[in-house]
Amino acid sequence: MSAAGRAPQRLIAVVGMHRSGTSCLTGSLQRAGLVLGEVHEWNRYNLKGNRENQAIVDLNDAVLAASGGSWDAPPANVHWSAAHKARAREILASLADAPVAGFKDPRTLLVIDGWLEVYPAMEFVGVFRHPAAVAASLANRSEMDRDVAYGLWKAYNRRLLALRRGRGFPLLDFDVDAEDYRATVERLAGELGLNATAVAEEPFFEEGLRKAHGSDRLPLALRWLHGRLRRGARATIRP
């Protein structure tokens, strides 16, 4: 078998909107044994790093650009070329020796069909955050207008819910009490066949990772969508 034809035994993608706790969840699962390969472990807006594999980010950006969009301007239709799919297989081949590999890039929600074509058995874990907190974080990082941020939150999280309806996977609320969050991540790690004890003994989560908060009165469409996400999260944490 060629190197590009190899792939991990299992592959888990952490999915969610930018600035919504995906980095924290990914770092937690990494400590539990999820193999990410080489990832970013520090940046000025995330002192523990966004835990992203740059090769995957670059590929997702290339797919979006070829489809006439970007992370902050989701295209209506996404096209994966043969070269894009070949590159995805090369990246997965680099993780082939991992019994449980994973990756995180919020853009994945926008380009998911190609990834599922390359690796149909991909597993998912989702996470979300209150729209106002995401908007505040994006304003701090990118000086993004609140209404633009709300539009992106809606676009990403609609895709998150649609993916969950089709595939079924755990969904976490990044805004819950710190102890509840830690307990949920610990239990999730065990359910995924990872080392839950490692998560408990050395938690990745720190309250300081949640710097932005928000309590804006939301438009009806966002309130409805946020409510749907919260119901999904409550179903996830039931024993």
Q: Delimit the domains of the chain by residue range.
A: 3-237
The residue ranking higher by pLDDT, 41 or 35, is 35
pLDDT value for 141: 86
- In this predicted structure, the answer to whether residue 4 has a pLDDT above a threshold of 50 is yes
Average pLDDT of the segment spanning 58-79 = 98
pLDDT value for 2: 44
pLDDT value for 209: 53
- Residue 47's contacts (CB-CB under 8 Å, 6 or more residues apart) are none
Q: How far is CA 169 from the centre of its chain?
A: 12
Average pLDDT of the segment spanning 172-184 = 91
pLDDT value for 49: 57
Average pLDDT of the segment spanning 155-170 = 97
Residues of 19-52 as b/e, b for ≥16 C-beta within 10 angstroms? bbbbbbbbbbbbbbbbbbeebeeeeeebebebbb
Q: What is the CATH number of domain 3-237?
A: 3.40.50.300
- In this predicted structure, the answer to whether residue 51 has a pLDDT above a threshold of 90 is no
Average pLDDT of the segment spanning 70-78 = 97
Retrieve residue 106's tokens: 């919020």
Percent of the chain with pLDDT over 70: 87
Reported as half-sphere exposure (CB side, CA atoms, 13 A), residue 34 has a value of 29
Q: CA 144 to CA 136: how far, in whole Å?
A: 9
pLDDT value for 1: 35
- In this predicted structure, the answer to whether residue 227 has a pLDDT above a threshold of 70 is yes
- Residue 58's contacts (CB-CB under 8 Å, 6 or more residues apart) are none
- In this predicted structure, the answer to whether residue 82 has a pLDDT above a threshold of 60 is yes
Contact 71, 64 (CB under 8 A): yes
Q: How far is CA 88 from the centre of its chain?
A: 17
pLDDT value for 81: 98
Is the pTM of the predicted complex or chain greater than 0.85?
A: yes
Mean pLDDT (the chain, rounded): 90
Find the radius of gyration of the CA atoms of the chain: 17
Contact 168, 121 (CB under 8 A): no
Q: CA 107 to CA 156: how far, in whole Å?
A: 9
The residue ranking higher by pLDDT, 209 or 55, is 55
pLDDT value for 40: 62
Q: CA 147 to CA 232: how far, in whole Å?
A: 25
pLDDT value for 92: 97
pLDDT value for 236: 80
Residues of 183-195 as b/e, b for ≥16 C-beta within 10 angstroms? ebbbbbbeebebb
pLDDT in tens, 94-140: 999 999 999 999 999 999 999 999 999 999 999 999 999 999 999 98
Percent of the chain with pLDDT over 90: 76
Q: CA 136 to CA 210: how far, in whole Å?
A: 11
What letter represents residue 231's amino acid? R
